[in-house]
């Protein structure tokens, strides 16, 4: 397994030969210019993955028609004016030995008029429950025209030097909308039976084939199962794959879901690794062309197993390549143990996109910022002292060392990790621990001098005499000013998650943000009876839109009671009081009260350094408590400024 013979072996899709069986699937980045053209950020992002050793890059969804624009800064391919930029992107990828395809798509109803400038269109006028907009039904003339548009887009890709095209038949976008009985309620020849629902997609395949010629590879990405009672089933998916092969498609890329079942498109950490491989395996049984597996595959050993067991012919790593663009090189060079794994948190790769921001990665700040963070050697190596061994401190130490600085790290605790052990403690969050493991191993591999149980003071820093100090001392839990908060049965959430304290059977959690919800989940899973008291109208306002509903469903399943719009006013021996809607209410019989009302920066060292004459930076939660994403980003930025 450690040799990864299959992952490293070449394979052909049509007449396109790939150097290995590792694929970068299309993932929206929002890195394009406002007009949909390729930017320097786009080139640097894909160039880094090509340099990282990937066999095939399938560039993110490129829109074939103005009405199909689904993302503010998504790529466009609906005009010849985009060819020069696309050619520059193909040249960048080819320079590093990878092959490049582009995904042709139209968002259909899964966009908004705010993004595209038009009323969305679809096979049937059914409101998308996620976007909330009612689409207009396409006419038969428009359908015929769109098939031509797909062909023209494919011809542009070929003219730009791309090696293949992928047609997006998945994830609830326009072609998938036609394939699915959930979204296609037409009564003409484009609706009804599966054969009729396939009519437009097949017209698209034929148009693309005519435009690119007989030898140019075409890949089809399908949702083999939409995970909806009235959606595309696996049996449908297999039939679709077989028919597409008959129409000359050279490979099938097997995914699942649509916006309404988003967790199957972009799977969070609660979904098991390789969750869609069974779909790829089922499709592989009915087609003879290569099959690409995808779905939370962040581990090279898992990928090799998929190939060894004959479940697929190629493996798409997806967000694994956002987390570590060097993953393929590390596999081929025998350094798989150095892979920085995707933790499936969705914070920067999905939450940011849904807010119309550019793509990023919680554990890899370079993602989407390759131009800003080139990881080049510093002109003047310096002596750097990092204070704090959480994610911000360890990442600052790691990047600064790679850039040629001499780095020492001090951590006052007996082990590295900072708050990461607290992050891992709630149910189903073990994946987050892989990031801590990666950082600790990297510091050791790079030779960073680490001192544990080391308290930082101005005098100690002066004795060390560094050129630069990076303060990454993190945060401390906040309390709440209310009568009874000092009672013995009142504890803070951090101590509960760390296992430093035990709670009684009946627990009140004060605060319904991420930490409050997770500590409630943590306790409920262990059999405690939990009630959350939250001041805001709803809980989890700081939790992402994909992860949030999953966590809330777990709380409901475990009978966690939730009281919102409630301000705590007092804690008694067994009861608590709160104000809601102008009235004072009381709840009794609590054995423990857990305070989860946020955190405050640990400014003890920062205050000492002010006016000391010592050159220092402050990063991460020591500035303001936020997500791991912000800590890692600030650490990388500071390490490039030094």
Tell me which residues are annotated as active site.
173
Q: Which distant-in-sequence residues (6+ apart) come within 8 Å of 438 by Cβ?
A: 339, 340, 341, 363
Q: What is the CA radius of gyration of the chain?
A: 26
CA distance 564 to 623: 29
Nearest-CA neighbor of 594 among 538, 525, 539, 512?
Answer: 512
Residues 533, 512 contacting (CB under 8 angstroms): yes
How many Cα atoms are found within 13 Å in the side-chain-facing hemisphere of 484? 17
Give the long-range contacts of residues 586-589, CB within 8 A, separation 24 or more: 587/508, 587/531, 587/563, 589/506
> In this structure, how many other beta carbons lie within 10 angstroms of the beta carbon of residue 528?
20
E strands of 322-412, at which residues? Answer: 383-387, 406-411
CA distance 289 to 443: 44
Assign 3-class secondary structure to 23-81: EECCCCCCCCCCCCCCCHHHHHHHHHHHHCCCCEEEEEEEECCHHHCCCCCCEECCCHH
How many Cα atoms are found within 13 Å in the side-chain-facing hemisphere of 414? 0
From residue 273, alpha-carbon distances to 126, 296, 306 in Å are 33, 5, 12
Nearest-CA neighbor of 576 among 513, 461, 467, 490?
Answer: 490
Instruction: Name the pairing type of β-strands 11-13 and 121-122.
Output: unpaired
Torsion of CA 291, 295, 299, 302, to 10 degrees: -50
Which H or E run contains 471?
A: strand 468-471
Q: Which distant-in-sequence residues (6+ apart) come within 8 Å of 379 by Cβ?
A: none
Which H or E run contains 569?
A: strand 566-571
Residues 28, 74 contacting (CB under 8 angstroms): yes
Task: Give DSSP secondary structure letters for 474-535.
Answer: -EEE-----BTTTSTTEEEHHHHHHTSS---SEEEEE--SHHHHHHHHHHHHTT-EEEEE-S
CA distance 537 to 551: 17
Q: Which distant-in-sequence residues (6+ apart) come within 8 Å of 224 by Cβ?
A: 232, 234, 237, 238, 240, 241, 254, 255, 256, 276, 279, 280, 282, 283
CA distance 501 to 475: 19
From residue 489, alpha-carbon distances to 60, 396, 552, 574 in Å are 53, 39, 26, 9
Looking up tokens 């262990």 gives 526
Residues 439, 398 contacting (CB under 8 angstroms): yes
CA distance 244 to 276: 20
């Amino acid at each position: 397994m450690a040799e990864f013979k299959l992952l490293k072996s070449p394979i052909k899709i049509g007449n396109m030969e790939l150097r290995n069986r590792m694929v970068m699937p299309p993932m929206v980045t929002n890195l394009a210019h406002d007009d949909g053209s390729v930017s320097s950020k786009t080139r640097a992002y894909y160039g880094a993955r090509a340099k990282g050793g990937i066999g095939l890059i399938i560039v993110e969804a490129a829109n074939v028609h103005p009405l199909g624009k689904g993302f503010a800064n998504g790529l466009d391919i609906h005009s010849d004016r985009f060819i020069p930029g696309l050619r520059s992107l193909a040249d960048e990828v080819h320079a590093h030995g990878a092959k490049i395809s582009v995904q042709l798509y139209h968002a259909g109803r899964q966009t908004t008029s705010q993004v595209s400038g038009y009323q969305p269109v679809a096979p049937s006028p059914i409101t998308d429950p996620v976007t909330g907009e009612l689409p207009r039904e396409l006419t038969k003339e428009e359908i015929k025209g769109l098939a031509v548009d797909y062909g023209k887009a494919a011809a542009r890709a070929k003219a730009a030097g791309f090696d293949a095209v992928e047609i997006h038949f998945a994830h609830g976008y326009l072609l998938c909308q036609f394939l699915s009985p959930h979204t296609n309620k037409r009564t003409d020849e484009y609706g009804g039976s599966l054969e009729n629902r396939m009519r437009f997609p097949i017209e698209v395949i034929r148009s693309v084939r005519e435009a690119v010629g007989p030898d140019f590879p075409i890949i089809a990405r399908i949702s083999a199962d939409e995970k909806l009672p009235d959606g595309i089933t696996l049996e449908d998916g297999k039939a679709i794959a077989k028919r597409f092969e008959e129409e000359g498609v050279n490979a099938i890329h097997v995914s699942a879901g649509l916006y309404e079942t988003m967790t199957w498109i972009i799977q969070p950490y609660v979904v098991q690794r390789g969750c869609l491989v069974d779909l790829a395996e089922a499709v592989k049984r009915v087609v003879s062309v290569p099959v690409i597996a995808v779905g939370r595959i962040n581990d090279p050993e898992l990928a090799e197993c998929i190939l060894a067991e004959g479940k697929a012919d190629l493996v798409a790593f997806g967000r694994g390549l956002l987390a570590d663009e060097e993953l393929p090189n590390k596999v081929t060079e025998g350094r798989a143990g150095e892979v920085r794994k995707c933790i499936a948190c969705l914070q920067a790769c999905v939450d940011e996109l849904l807010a119309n921001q550019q793509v990023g990665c919680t554990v890899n700040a370079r993602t989407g910022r390759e131009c800003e963070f080139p990881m080049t050697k510093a002109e003047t190596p310096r002596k750097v002292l990092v204070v704090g061994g959480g994610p911000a401190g360890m990442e600052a130490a790691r990047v600064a060392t790679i850039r040629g600085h001499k780095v020492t790290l001090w951590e006052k605790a007996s082990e590295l990790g900072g708050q990461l052990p607290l992050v891992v403690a709630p149910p189903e969050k073990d994946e987050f621990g892989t990031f801590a493991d990666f950082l600790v191993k990297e510091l050791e591999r790079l030779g960073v001098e680490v001192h544990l149980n080391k308290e930082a003071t101005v005098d100690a820093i002066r004795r060390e005499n560094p050129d630069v100090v990076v303060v990454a001392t993190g945060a401390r839990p906040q309390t709440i000013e209310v009568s009874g908060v000092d009672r013995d049965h009142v504890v803070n959430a951090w101590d509960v998650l760390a296992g430093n304290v035990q709670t009684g059977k009946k627990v009140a959690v004060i605060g319904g943000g991420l930490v409050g919800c997770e500590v409630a989940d943590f306790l409920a899973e262990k059999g405690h009876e939990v009630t959350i008291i939250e001041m805001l109208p709803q809980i989890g306002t700081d939790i992402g839109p994909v992860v949030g509903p999953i966590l809330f469903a777990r709380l409901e399943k475990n009978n966690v009671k939730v009281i919102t719009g409630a301000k705590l006013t007092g804690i008694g021996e067994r009861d608590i009081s709160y104000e809601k809607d102008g009235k004072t209410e009381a709840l009794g019989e609590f054995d423990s009260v857990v305070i989860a009302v946020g955190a405050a920066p640990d400014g003890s060292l920062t205050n000492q350094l002010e006016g000391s004459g010592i050159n220092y930076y402050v990063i991460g939660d020591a500035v303001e408590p936020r997500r791991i994403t912000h800590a890692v980003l600030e650490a990388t930025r500071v390490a490039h400024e030094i």
